[in-house]
Amino acid sequence: MNKLYPLKFKPRFREKLWGGHKIKDVLQMSCDVIENCGEAWVLSGVAGDVTEVADGFLAGNELNELVEVYMDDLVGGKVYHKYKNEFPILVKFIDAADYLSIQVHPDDALAQKRGLGNGKTEMWYIISADKDSELISGFSRKVNQKTYLDHLDNKTLKEILNVEKVQAGDVYYMPAGRVHALGPGILLAEIQQTSDVTYRIYDWDRTDKNGQPRELHTDEALEAIDYNVYDDYKSQYADAKNETVEVVKGEYFTTNLLHIDKPLMKNYEELDSFVIYTCVAGHIKLVYPDGSLTIKMGECVLIPNEIKRIDLHPSMDSKLLETYIL
């Protein structure tokens, strides 16, 4: 059997009412057939939207097929035991030219109770943000279900939500249950559980291209929402060059920032997991025992579990998100 190698996948693009042109213009992806490209799914095991390998002898194979064939060698023993033949992480780039709907995702227990598979916990890394761009994350004060519904009915929901001004490099962890929405002018990388379950709460009273309002999920969302208020909604980390900086550590994934301007060696001998590199700035050559490849901003590479050493050689000041499961 041929040896596994670092894998790139063909992106799957999604047109969105709120999408823009940065996935094409900034990330330089070929999504010309889509007028308002809101999302590029660059690594996905979601049924119906599974990404295919872009090159090498495995080109054309779907991600979940590879998990079924290579099992531990691809994803790691613990990961395979827990998730079986479904790859557990979804990686997207998102371009918000307008407000996304205010929404919430169920956790595992609620999703499984409703026959929806996994819940959806995610994180956002802000690649770029226009001046005064903002997002919504959670509540600004403690509320109960009645208060929430009163504001929803009166179309004043934003008054009780936590609004944050954002800039490049900000990270937001969005556990299942947290009400959230992206505002216009934001380009980001999203790392999340393998799930496409979203409960749309409020859509700013807009209509689609056919003049119809988009479906809302008011009742379904009620049991999913975390009504608590938290001290800090932004993930705090200290950016340090040429080191591994932890930005998110949780049950579903750990993500570190690698901000490098000189070579860096990564040793994964102690890690029983795949590794995902998502490039959010610059251009890097990845050298592994049997070859090399390059990754640039807007690309994602899956490093199989059986590859335990990667040497990173940036050609300029570059940033990678390094994601795995502990």
Phi, psi at 80, each rounded to 5°: -65, -40
In three-state secondary structure terms, 63 is helix
**Cα–Cα distance measured from residue 252 to residue 235, given in angstroms and rounded to the nearest whole number:** 16
Q: What is the total residue count of the chain?
A: 326
Residues 298/320, Cβ–Cβ less than 8 Å: no
The secondary structure of 172-203 as a DSSP string is EEE-TT--EEEPTTEEEEEEEES----EEEE-
Active-site annotation holder among 12, 14, 178, 200: 200
For the chain, what is the largest distance between any 2 Cα atoms, rounded to a whole number of angstroms?
Answer: 62
**Cα–Cα distance measured from residue 291 to residue 39, given in angstroms and rounded to the nearest whole number:** 31
Query: What are the tokens at 209?
Result: 């291209």
Residues 6+ apart with CB under 8 A from 111: 117, 118, 119, 120, 195, 197
- Nearest to residue 258, comparing CAs of 303, 305, 192, 291? 303
Query: What are the tokens at 103?
Result: 């929404």
Query: What are the tokens at 117?
Result: 């598979």
Residue 206 designated active-site: no
Q: Token pair 């050559």 is at which residue?
A: 285
Catalogue the active-site residues: 200
